[in-house]
Structure 1
């Protein structure tokens, strides 16, 4: 009798449920963002394909990029040092962290990260998603921990909803924080400068000064600042003034090789008009100062780049060439990128 009653109860329970209650599947709607790869740009890096930008992943990443609670005292965010109006760099010689602590190096711009094979001045990160933890835990930057960051936001409804929309789960984890910031940074593509418009034949033309500067660039700069990224992504010692901080060793801090001492990743020249000062610790206030230094002669070193060593430790430039070269470099400025 008990078995009959139990069977009847189960039948009644099932029949009382709607079709939606029993069979409606969960639909996770977070479409991938279409990334338009500019003409002649290099291949996307392999990490991109493991963390393709999505609608809500990018939205979450942008919010976290601007979140000051990533720092121990809730005063600085990623965007404090990487400002959009400066092509996601700043105008300080060295990065400034919480309590005014001074970092080791100049904050580099964040642009075209999806096409880069190395990150940071010394290339110590090969995967973009591994980079956000560095400023969070570094004493002279945010001086926090990822667990502390999670603790600050894990009970906020807005964040819980954003993580749910981005990843299908409300749980906030370290990897989801890193991946969402990475997704946002992958979308920061700059390829709409005057240079790009001239190249695409969109009605723009170089002035005489810009055209002459482009020729000088091809003759004296393009071997290092090559490709549409305007960097060959190599590491070179070009004899710039040496950082007085004893912790600095350039690429050798990563490899442990003496031959990599004071070698740094060749920076992209895109949006260089907005990213002063220049050099790994802001050695030069203006582009003219950089060109004057290269013209006058750089510091000698056993591992000085052969391009300089074979030319008497300098890149000779006339004053007219310098003026024209700067005019050309200013055509790499992408006003849409710094304002959109």
Structure 2
């Protein structure tokens, strides 16, 4: 049974400048009904402090596609986060203004309402804290929040939207971050073939998909568990190391040597459309990635025990690889991506 978050109306009391004349001005900005898939993890705590509303999401979506967030008005969030690719892109590393190459691969944006950590190294715990990062990063938008606010304040459409979303026309950094997060909270992917099979909706796995699902349960599910297809842990699984000497994985956040080259386990949902794979796009195809795991990974003291205890590899036959890829493609949610089957 799908859970439903019920609508509420917000009433704001405004007093006119004339103290003899006060009036109650009502504006309606209802919470959106989000259909939460059965079996998904609990919503993260931040969601409840910033629940998606009709106009908050409308504003957030507009800002997500707004190129004025960048210094030269050339790129938006959507420039790197493309819907048909589960809001990732096709580049090994993100490309910012003036063609600048980013530090890491662009992660997909889906099911973020259920996520505990954001970014490859988990340096953000609240989704509302994340939008500032690309705005101020030199290799991304290379702007500032004050510059962005200054641009938006000149446009009546934005003043109206901020009033509808927050009750007045004031444009602040927090309101920008919160509205973008509200929009991203609504990006829920849960209607893949896998989901339809699980819900007994009249479709079934092919023989290859069935066998691939068995391989997945035997060799992948420890890390890629739950209906998010990630346990949200940080692991070093011995992928080729980023030649950028600033890279240290999770250790950049914790300062703990044990966390060097550990990265957040990515979701496998919509993995068919999110190539290339790895923290800086090390693998062009799923087959290439599986071949690497089968042949042996980079050895490290903190290599995940799953690999360390198995001769530093995940052995897979050629048939297992092909069947596993067939299963992984059942995680593609064409409706979410708005692509044709």
Structure exhibiting the larger radius of gyration computed from Cα positions: 1
Alignment of 1:10-89 (within 5 A): 24-89=23-88
CA deviations over 1:242-263 (Å, ceiling 9, x no partner): 0000110000000000110000
Measured in 1, the distance between the counterparts of 2:101 and 2:33 equals 38
State the partner residue of 1:305: 304
Count of matched residue positions in the alignment of Structure 1 and Structure 2: 320
Q: How far off is 1:327 after superposition?
A: 0.2
State the partner residue of 2:133: 134
- Structure 1: which 5+ runs fail to align? 1-20
Q: How far off is 1:265 after superposition?
A: 0.1
Once superposed, what is the RMSD of the aligned Cα atoms?
A: 1.0
State the partner residue of 2:189: 190
CA gap 1:152/1:23 in 2 versus in 1, 3 angstroms: closer
CA deviations over 1:224-278 (Å, ceiling 9, x no partner): 0000000000000000000000110000000000110000000000000000000
Measured in 1, the distance between the counterparts of 2:154 and 2:323 equals 56
Measured in 1, the distance between the counterparts of 2:184 and 2:254 equals 26
Q: How far off is 1:153 after superposition?
A: 1.1
Partner SS state of residue 259, structure 1: helix
- Structure 2: which 5+ runs fail to align? 1-19
State the partner residue of 1:328: 327
Partner SS state of residue 35, structure 2: coil
Partner SS state of residue 44, structure 1: coil
CA deviations over 1:289-315 (Å, ceiling 9, x no partner): 000000000010000000000000000
CA deviations over 1:46-85 (Å, ceiling 9, x no partner): 0000000000000000000000010001000000000001
Q: How far off is 1:24 after superposition?
A: 4.9
Alignment of 1:141-160 (within 5 A): 141-160=140-159
Alignment of 1:233-312 (within 5 A): 233-312=232-311
Q: How far off is 1:339 after superposition?
A: 1.1
Measured in 1, the distance between the counterparts of 2:152 and 2:299 equals 51
CA deviations over 1:129-157 (Å, ceiling 9, x no partner): 00000000000000000000000110211
Measured in 2, the distance between the counterparts of 1:169 and 1:325 equals 52
Measured in 2, the distance between the counterparts of 1:233 and 1:318 equals 27
State the partner residue of 2:15: none
CA deviations over 1:171-204 (Å, ceiling 9, x no partner): 1110100000000000000000000000000011
TM-score by length of 1: 0.93
Partner SS state of residue 226, structure 1: coil
Measured in 2, the distance between the counterparts of 1:220 and 1:67 equals 42
Q: Which has the larger helix fraction? A: 1
Measured in 2, the distance between the counterparts of 1:235 and 1:281 equals 16
Alignment of 1:140-219 (within 5 A): 140-219=139-218
